[in-house]
Structure 1
Amino acid sequence: MRELFDLTGRAAIVTGAGRGLGQAIAIGLAEAGADVLLVTNSTPAEETKRRVEAAGRRAVTVQADVGDRDRLAGIADAALAAFGKIDVLVNNAGIIRRTPAAEHAYADWQDVLDVNLNAVFLLSQLVGKTMIAQGSGKIINVASMLSFQGGINVPGYTASKHAVAGLTKALANEWASKGVQVNAIAPGYMSTDNTEALRQDPVRSRQILERIPAGRWGSDQDMAGPAIFLASRASDYMNGHVLFVDGGWMVR
């Protein structure tokens, strides 16, 4: 049974791999056997690279703003140059801008959509062509609880994550028959930079914790196992699924 989760010989791309959820996913994939292309913007990825290599796998770092569509082809090309193939794509990179909707600047709206949605589609399209040609591949998008709920003061983020869930299903419909599985992970309230403002607000933090059956914020390590599962043969018959990793938030 263990071989179902073995990623030995696989080549993966992980965006937003310099810290947080992306770092944990990249290291988890490497520990399961994959070589990893680490895509990072302003955050250095040296620590992620060191830990991937400590797991005995190859790590290649590309610095690129995924919100700049002109940089996306270079990411796919770098992975093909380094590994000769792409077996797994994890669209993890994301940003959030917190402003009441009535005051939400259009520039903030556009920045969030460029990173959280447009980059997911365009990079999936680029990598998807390679996966279709080779007859196999796994694309894992990072959605959110706000793919299903409205949130507060984050209209751009909520819109982008609703769209990521829909895009996951749309791509799965087209590509499942071609050997490419497209699924998503929807993290709950995780202890990351994106949620620091919430965790520092004693009232909001208490309200959130009271609703989570597990009784704690999620950690970046909680993402590694689900990512390995969706990247492995164990999930070969999963298509268009959005997997909650939320401590039970959505069932309360």
Structure 2
Amino acid sequence: MRTIDVTDAAWGTLLALQEGLADLEGGADPVTRVYGPIAGAKGPFVIAQVGQSLDGRIATPTGDARDVSGPDGLAHLHRCRALVDAVIVGVTTVTSDDPRLSVRIVEGRSPVRVVIDCRGDLSGGEGMFHDGGAPVIVFQSATAPPRTFGQAEVIRLKEDTCGLCTGAILQALADRGLQRVLVEGGAKTIARFIEAGHVDRLHVSVSPIIIGSGPSGINFSPIEFLSEARRPLTEVYSLGSDILFDCDLRSNPVLGRQGEQVSVANPT
């Protein structure tokens, strides 16, 4: 198993690559293979990230998600944030965890923060609206009660029977110059972006703890046979405290539901 060891020099090159000030060279080393596709993306690129336990849990049944990922798993998440233009979460992630979604552990700029709040469940008191951090965009249904959230931009989309269209969300972000996107949570939000065929890479960071019960990292629609399961090309790396599964979702088309339009519902 190869180890990801991100030196200051290597990280500086990735940040320069993100800004178009450097070129990818080689690509065989683990750091370049994992982070290069994000930093070097020339057009739309979507990555989903999950940090979970050995038994696939992201929190206890009471919702305690603190320290599920080890220190190196958290550093990996912050690197992903630093290399994208926007980070997406569902409303339940915000109301449950009140995340900052900022880059704090590594050098780099924080991405635009995007919340999918289909039916207008946000109160406006959530921390991200008042912390003076990166801009916030809220996606809501056109039928949700209209309201403002400080300086946040509210984008209202037509809702279908399942919620907000993932493609319409990504297009609205691209129209604002936000093409490299991290889908960070929750489990249903990640699943729906993947099921819609909109995710290029899936990173699953596994920490050596066993929780035993609680919510899982991704909630896909049920399948009947294992032949319908997704089997992407996957490389495995040691982050140090955690193990990273880097899944190339473009290497194998989504089976069973290929081409079907999938929407994001609320709650996540």
* TM-score (norm: length of structure 1): 0.38
* TM-score (norm: length of structure 2): 0.36
Higher strand share: 2
Higher helix share: 1
